[in-house]
Amino acid sequence: MENEIRMTKLASCAGCGAKVGAGTLAKLLQGLPTVFDENLLVGYDTSDDACVYKISDDLVLVNTLDFFPPIVDDPFLFGQIAAANAISDVYAMGATPKLALNIMAVSPQMPDEAVREVLRGGYSKAAEAGVIISGGHTIRDPEPKYGLSVSGFARPEEIRLNCTPHVGDVLILTKALGTGVISTANKVDMVSRETYQRAVEQMATLNRTGCEIAREFEVHSITDVTGFGLMGHTSEMANGGGVTAVIDSTRVPLLPEVLSLAEMGILPEGMYRNRSFAEPFSQFAPSVPRALADMLFDPQTSGGLLMAVAEKDADAMLARLTDKVPHAAVIGHITENQGCAVKVV
């Protein structure tokens, strides 16, 4: 199938790098009318990963939606990655995903078999997550796109927001950074096949394990790191909590080759949008190399969970994670506000 059609050639941008910049999005949402409902526990006002609606004292509904253009050429893998990325927003809220609907735009250049393979990839990843795809909506579009609307459930006390870190919390990240750079490099054949395959495998990996392990410990805040990059999503967490997140740049896990690629200027357009948004909230130590700083703004597709964990539980939780989540790492901590949202040392 990959020899028949290169999916990425049909789109002007790829994966979560297609997201509208966080700053632009905030302006677009500003002043829109809202309807008050006391049962809507989480809406778009907190920049969280999904909305949460109270059904009863013991049950909440979690809803999210995510779709994007191809990040890989293989249609089946594209479907898997897009589904994993969409389902991740439910995991990032601490909930269990259960139902989904397909969202698909079909390019006239896509043969029927490619369309079917995208859907098959999505169905296979949803099944792995225990999610039932029960329908959807498909349109024609010059550029192909795919994703899911996902519904999940949780007990109210299981819900974790992206804006509630506590001073003293330890920051744990569950996936390595660099998918944006690697995807960009792959378009011009400047990354090894082995590294590209590692990035694809990571993007197709569910965040289910991280979510389930987080329930065993005192975790105050969770978000998943996607199109706004580590700096964008961390700044949302810190700004929301009125604190400063200190990131140790030497401890951030990176995929192979990404630093050398960044040094050569192989960077996705979304990286510059993310830097424009998050840099005003950030402070970088002069010793942090420019290429490494760029990686912290790199837009991730189906990235890992960023979790603010109580210090007393951090070591035990990391030990549980690293047994099943190879790239999990402590990357920083939360302090009182130091005049910026994110401080990189």
Q: Confirm if 333 and 290 have CB atoms less than 8 A apart.
A: no
d(C-alpha 98, C-alpha 86), whole Å: 12
d(C-alpha 85, C-alpha 147), whole Å: 8
Nearby residues of 76 by Cβ (< 8 Å), 6 or more positions away: 1, 117, 118, 120, 121, 124
Q: Which tokens in the block code for residue 199? A: 């990035």
Residue type, 308: A
d(C-alpha 14, C-alpha 306), whole Å: 22
Residue type, 164: T
Q: What is the CA radius of gyration of the chain?
A: 19
Residue type, 228: F
Residue type, 159: I
Q: Confirm if 279 and 229 have CB atoms less than 8 A apart.
A: no
Q: Confirm if 222 and 94 have CB atoms less than 8 A apart.
A: yes
d(C-alpha 240, C-alpha 12), whole Å: 33
Catalytic residue list = 16
d(C-alpha 287, C-alpha 167), whole Å: 25
Per-position DSSP letters for 200-238, written without gaps between them: HHHHTS-SHHHHHHHTTS-EEEEEE--TTHHHHHHHHHH
Residue 140, Cβ density class (10 Å: 0-12 exposed, 13-18 middle, ≥19 buried): exposed
Q: Which tokens in the block code for residue 69? A: 């253009």
> Rounded to whole angstroms, what are the CA distances from 273 to 21, 114, 132, 172, 178?
6, 31, 35, 25, 16
Q: Which tokens in the block code for residue 304? A: 């890992």
